Amino acid sequence: DGGITQSPKYLFRKEGQNVTLSCEQNLNHDAMYWYRQDPGQGLRLIYYSQIVNDFQKGDIAEGYSVSREKKESFPLTVTSAQKNPTAFYLCASSIGRAQGGYGYTFGSGTRLTVV
Amino acid sequence: AQSVTQLDSHVSVSEGTPVLLRCNYSSSYSPSLFWYVQHPNKGLQLLLKYTSAATLVKGINGFEAEFKKSETSFHLTKPSAHMSDAAEYFCVVLPNQFYFGTGTSLTVIP
C-alpha cells in the first residue's frame, strides 16, 4: 500500500543537538511538506518542496533545515538554533501544488522532546 | 488573505447525540475546504472535502459538512456521536497552500 512513513515515532534530543526527522513517501507525489503541531495552535507550515532539489520556507522555518535530493524523501533537521523544538511534527505530500482540491496525505508523525 | 477559524476549542457530547463542529473561513479565492481528524499521536485522516461541487458534502464515518458561502461557514456535523469519534478535528482552507484551523477537541461521554 502506498503512503507516507515518518520515523522515528518518538525522538528525544539533548539541548544543543541537531536531530533529523525522516519522511519517505511511495505515492509518487511531487510536493512534500513539514508541519509542526503545538497544542491550541493547529498546524504551522515549516518548509515545503514542490519538486526535487527545490524547497521554500513556510511560516516558521527559523531553526529548521530540509533537503529534497530524491522525490521520495524530504528529511527535516531540527537544529540547535530552534529555541523551542518540543512538538509533534507531521510530514505530508500531495500530487501537485495542492490546488484544485487535491488533498494531502499525512504521515503518522514524530513526537520530538528536548531533554 | 486566507484564514480559517474554528469557533470552539472543545466540544463535549453524549454518545448517540448530534455533533456540530463549527468552522468559518475567509478567502480571497473560491476555496477548497477540508475537514481532517486526528486521533492521539497519529497523523491526520481526511474526513471530507468541498471543491465547488455539491454544497453538502458527505464524508467517512457518517460525517458531513455544508458549505454556506453567504455565511462563509463549513460546519461539520454527525447525527449520532460514537465513542470512537473522540479526537481532534481540523478545518482547512486551501487556495494554494493549506491553512489549518487551531482544532476542536471532541469528547464523547458514554
B67 touches chain A (CB under 8 A): no
pLDDT in tens, A73-91: 999 999 988 889 999 999 9
Q: How far is A5 from chain B (nearest CA, A)?
A: 10
* Contact at CB, A109 and B45, closer than 8 angstroms: no
Residue A2 has pLDDT above 80, yes or no: no
Cβ atoms of B78 and B24 within 8 Å: the answer is: no
Q: Is the peptide bond before A8 cis (omega within 30 degrees of 0)?
A: yes
Give pLDDT tens digits for A5-59: 999 989 998 888 999 999 999 999 888 999 998 876 778 889 999 889 999 999 8
Residue the block writes with cell 516558521: A60
What pLDDT, on a 0 to 100 scale, did the predictor assign at position A101? 43
Chain B neighbors of A97, CB-CB under 8 A: 96
Looking at the complex, does the CB of residue B26 fall below 8 Å from at least one CB of chain A? no
A90: nearest CA partner in chain B: B43
Q: Which chain A residue shows the shortest CA-CA distance from B9?
A: A40
Q: What percent of chain B has pLDDT over 70?
A: 89
pLDDT classification of A99: cutoffs 50, 70, 90: very low
pLDDT class for A100, splitting at 50, 70, 90?
very low
pLDDT of residue B64: 97
Answer yes or no: do A42 and B102 touch at CB < 8 A: yes
> What does the alpha-carbon distance between residue B66 and residue B77 come to, in Å, rounded to a whole number?
9
Task: Pick the residue from chain A with its C-alpha nearest to B44.
Answer: A106
Tell me what the pLDDT averaged over chain B comes to: 87
Q: What is the mean pLDDT of the segment spanning A100-104?
A: 55
pLDDT at B31: 77
Mutate to test the interface with A, among B44, B46, B89, B94 (most CBs of A within 10 A): B44
Q: Does the structure show a pLDDT above 90 at B28?
A: no
pLDDT per position as a tens digit, B30-82: 778 889 998 877 778 889 988 777 889 999 999 999 999 889 999 999 999 99
Three-state DSSP at B107 gives strand
Q: Which grid cell is B41?
A: 499521536
| Inter-chain CB proximity B102 and A41 less than 8 Å | yes
Written as one letter, the residue type at A35 is Y
Question: What is residue B54's predicted lDDT score, i.e. its pLDDT?
Answer: 83
